[in-house]
Amino acid sequence: MDRDEALYLLSFHSGRNPDIENPKWGQGFLASLRKYSRIDNENSFIEVMECLKVIKEDFNKNEVSRDLIADLYGIFYYTNLWIGKGGILENRLTEEERKKIDIRMKIYSYVLASLLDYSEEGWQEAIGEYEYYLLGYTNYD
């Protein structure tokens, strides 16, 4: 995946891409929550995280695209809004499902915070949490 593809995919995962007829729109991270049907959105989460790896260097600059920040923050904000108390998914998720999504958002927000801080040491630690997750483990139980 290159930078342009990563940005393109993130626009679908955030639900901000206007091409709603594109099949990628319905497979995005937020779309998988919005139309929640007991389908685990782990593949979408992994794709989002792989996109973050690709766009890492964008955060080494003094300015970052407003659209990119909107995509990244939108994923975080709406996921937490929807799974939280009073959210549209509050009564539709089992406790186990809520925990899975919460763990993914903790990992995502840690990696995102490390990108915004742009500390190589912080990035390595944060992306290590994601890689640990891929092995089936988490520090967020």
pLDDT band at 141 (very low <50, low <70, confident <90, very high): confident
In a domain, 139, yes or no: no
- Kind plus residue range of the DSSP H or E element containing 113: helix 95-117
- pLDDT tens by residue, 71-116: 999 999 999 999 999 998 888 888 898 899 999 999 999 999 999 9
Phi, psi of 128 (to 5 degrees): -65, -35
In a domain, 37, yes or no: yes
Whether the pLDDT of residue 38 is over 70: the answer is no
Query: Which residues constitute the domain of residue 21?
Result: 3-134
Q: How many domains does the chain have?
A: 1
Q: Tokens representing 13?
A: 């995962």
Which one, of 16, 13, 19, 43, lies nearest residue 31 by Cα?
A: 13
Report the predicted TM-score, pTM, of the whole model to 2 decimal places: 0.92
Q: Which residues contact 53 (CB under 8 A, 6 or more apart)?
A: 127
Q: What does the pLDDT average to over 31-45? A: 78
CA distance 107 to 91: 24
